[in-house]
Amino acid sequence: MLKVGLIGFGSIAKGAHMGAYRRIKSENGPVVVEAICDINPARLEGLEGYRLYTSVEEMLEKEQGKLDYVDICVPTYLHAELSIKAMEAGFNVLCEKPMARNVEQCQQMIDASKRTGKLLMTAFCNRFFGAAQYIRDLIKSGELGAVRNAEFSRIQDSAPTANPWFLDGELSGGAALDLHIHDVDMINWMFGIPKSVNTVGKSSLTKGGYDSLSTNFLYDDNVFVHAYCDWTTLKCKYNVRTIAVYFEKGYVFVDRSAGREAFVKVTNDGEVTDMTDKLKFEAYYGEVMYYTDCLINGKPVSECLPENTIHSVRMVQAEIESADKGGQVVNL
Ligand SMILES: NC(=O)c1ccc[n+]([C@@H]2O[C@H](COP(=O)([O-])OP(=O)(O)OC[C@H]3O[C@@H](n4cnc5c(N)ncnc54)[C@H](O)[C@@H]3O)[C@@H](O)[C@H]2O)c1
């Protein structure tokens, strides 16, 4: 049985990550939470049955030999610093997305993982979402022919309600690096690194970052992927999340918007397959199960290699550069 310590116990750790670990425990699965650290003691109030810390340094010192890995859920600007510190102290690291605040920090994390021999994975939950995995397999298999184009959208009202660091572009990278990167990473994972991007963006709430972006990712053979993101528009509880991939012989469409869910595959001869059963979002559970399996069996995290997730940050940086230049094409 693996033992994990959580670092950062804010919204994603308390909700999604603890939810996944609770389910794993109830199934007598491979990992159990033993320690939790948050710099803010209020975040630890009411927790029982865990070793609790308000200092990462103290936790890393006192947990020597007691934990198999740490699960890092601190704000984005601390991902690299704390991941490297944990690996240097001898811990394997599962760290929330985005991998880090910029490409240089991502590279430092990769270097630290190589230097220490510790297993590092970015928790890109959408790589473990059944519908996204189905689409990726469909692209690989060629069942519907080659990809023609694709479109992703992700709109939610997170920015005004989230913790203040989200609205500081210096700390969070704005909607581009925080929210939109979920789609950018799926695009990287499904289609590879584009040859260029062009982006328009606008901002009213995020200081030094974009609230809203529209990007075209251009690939060889004139395949283009469009992605749209906004974290200020919706003033209701319902998010918009769509994925459409158009192939030579049909298309797939995922819609998780307005509290409804649909996933269909449609062929050019009119056959419609309803795949809504693949939409159950168990991605946080999936990412932990995958990471722990790699750890137990000494396997590389092939589905989410740091050497690949660094490119999602690189793509976002290129988008920001393009938006800063009024939509100019930026080559990757
Ligand atoms: N995968 C997803 O779907 C998803 C969703 C939301 C957030 N996230 C990512 O997770 C990360 C955290 O987001 P959040 O919404 O939970 O933020 P949050 O602000 O709610 O939580 C962060 C927590 O980290 C703690 N913290 C800050 N500095 C610390 C330190 N030095 N040591 C220990 N604890 C420290 C804070 O006190 C806070 O409790 C972000 O990088 C965000 O992009 C991912």
Each residue of 84-116: pLDDT tens digit? 999 999 999 999 999 999 999 999 999 999 999
Kindly give the distance from the C-alpha atom of residue 73 to the centroid of ligand 1, in angstroms, as a whole number.
5
Residue of minimum CA distance from atom 5 in ligand 1: 12
Residue of minimum CA distance from atom 41 in ligand 1: 76
> Which of 73, 172, 185 for mutating ligand 1's site (highest number of atoms within 8 Å of CB)?
73
What domains are there in the chain, each with its CATH number? 2-123 (3.40.50.720), 127-284+312-331 (3.30.360.10)
Ligand 1 binding site (Cβ under 6 Å of any ligand atom): 7-13, 37-40, 43, 56, 73-76, 78, 96-97, 125, 163, 178
Cβ neighbours, 10 Å, residue 265: 20
CA 178 to chain centre: 9
- What element of type H or E holds 35? strand 31-37
> Letter for the amino acid at 185?
D
pLDDT of 160 reads 58
Cα–Cα dist 86/31, whole Å: 19
The tally of CA atoms less than 13 A away on the side-chain side of residue 271 is: 6
Kindly give the distance from the C-alpha atom of residue 274 to the centroid of ligand 1, in angstroms, as a whole number.
36
Kindly give the distance from the C-alpha atom of residue 6 to the centroid of ligand 1, in angstroms, as a whole number.
11
* pTM reported for the whole predicted model: 0.97
> Which of 6, 11, 170, 178 for mutating ligand 1's site (highest number of atoms within 8 Å of CB)?
11
- Going from the C-alpha of 286 to that of each of 19, 78, 291, the distances in angstroms are 12, 24, 9
Phi then psi for 215, rounded to 5 degrees?
A: -125, 140
Cβ neighbours, 10 Å, residue 47: 14
User: Which residues of the chain register pLDDT less than 50?
Assistant: none
Per-position b or e across 254-264, b if 16+ CB within 10 A of its CB: bbbbeeeeebe
Cα–Cα dist 217/215, whole Å: 6
- Going from the C-alpha of 252 to that of each of 50, 271, 280, the distances in angstroms are 44, 12, 17
Q: What pLDDT digit, counting tens, does each position of 228-258 carry?
A: 999 987 777 788 999 999 999 999 999 999 8
